[in-house]
Amino acid sequence: MLFVVAASCVGGVDSSQPEPGLPVSEYRPAPALEPIGDAALAELDAAIDAIFAAPPLSATSDSATIIDAETGQVVYQRDPDLLLKPASNTKLLTTAVAMDELGSDHRMTTGLYSDATIDGGVLLGDLHIVGEHDFTWSSRLFGDPRIPVVETGRALRAAGVDRVSGVVYLHGEYLFEGDNFAYYDAAAHRQEVAGEVTSAFAAAGVELGAVQLAAGFATPAGAELLASWKSPPLEVAAAPLNKVSHNEFADILARHVGYLLGGESSYGAWNAELLGWLGAAGIDTTGIQFHDGSGLSHDNRVSSRALVQTLDYMLDQPAGAAWERTFAIGNRDGTLGRRLGGSD
């Protein structure tokens, strides 16, 4: 079992120097925290050790790290470098790497390409739709998961196309609605989008013919971008991912990172990018490995120290505040909505 805790606060307002002409506020920032004394630490350690010593934790392997992010003081440790299955703590890493490397304003793109000409509103040839891992085609971000598909069709109509005479090819990877509890299945979601795109584009005023699935992301040589749909930014899209611990959202986002930064939509490429990112952040990657972005894999391994160091590192990054806003809040929402309310 893996426990990760980091006391932290992102951002803040310095009111010690008010702007000229504004009334002076009586508010003063809280004084800097002092390190916890040895006696208090010993008492806290004993209390936490007692929890681990009692069932059911007494029969488990545990890694725990608690730090004070403001002072850097290590408040508690228990086998901090023990490599264990992180479960959904994995999603913290998935979203951290994505938002730090791609930016909290990054948007996933679905492109519409063709090498054919348009005559009188008719695309005289084939249309290639390339999905780059947009997981926001979901009722968790829109009232109806078909809305982004319809909007993609409207983008094509705005480009002057109201009918496609040739075949519509679906390239790349998609996520339609998504299952919170399942592994991401690229083939199944590509097939599902194939079943939705004709009616969704018709609702946008675009008539399609046959729809076929295509391997990979590449379009034919000479195909040009006609229109595109862009997802909401990651700082919005990642909120349901972290708050409700959405597995398919996390898995496809990991593949998106692997695709954009490693050149391959795979968990292997994702793992390589993750390890490189951790190393650049000064975090020891010895033994760390990931086989998905959600944490469902039983072969994922990481320590509580590495996860806490990730939290601490992200607090100082430009995307840190946006990343933190995607977390579930104790006693309020997401997976912690009924936890940390004072009784547990």
pLDDT for position 181: 75
Domains 2-101+237-336 and 109-232 share a fold: no
Q: Tens of pLDDT along 247-274?
A: 999 999 999 999 999 999 999 999 999 9
Amino acid identity of 151?
E
**Tens digits of per-residue pLDDT, 133-168?**
999 999 999 989 999 999 999 999 999 999 999 999
Q: Phi, psi at residue 101, to the nearest 5°?
A: -85, -40
Query: pTM above the 0.85 mark?
Result: yes
Residue range 22-44: average pLDDT?
A: 80
- The pLDDT confidence band at residue 27, using thresholds 50, 70 and 90, is confident
Give the CA angle between residues 70, 334, 179 to the nearest 5°. Answer: 125
Class of CATH domain 2-101+237-336: alpha beta
Q: Domain map of the chain by residue range? A: 2-101+237-336, 109-232
Separation between Cα atoms, residue 98 and residue 317, nearest integer Å? 12
pLDDT exceeds cutoff 70 at 18: no
CA distance 177 to 138: 4
Terminal CA-CA length for the chain: 18
Smallest Cα–Cα separation from 293: which of 205, 184, 163?
Answer: 184
- Provide Rg for the chain, Cα atoms: 24
Please indicate whether residue 33 or residue 64 has the higher confidence score (pLDDT).
Answer: 64
DSSP string, 171-204: EEEEEES--TTS---HHHHHHHHHHHHHHHHHHT
Band (pLDDT 50/70/90 cuts) for residue 132 is very high
Q: Which residues contact 114 (CB under 8 A, 6 or more apart)?
A: 123, 125, 126, 127, 128, 223, 224, 226
Does 95 have pLDDT greater than 60? yes
Select from 2.20.25.90, 3.40.50.300, 3.30.1330.10, 3.50.80.20 the CATH code of 109-232: 3.50.80.20
Q: Are the CB atoms for 242 and 266 separated by under 8 Å?
A: no
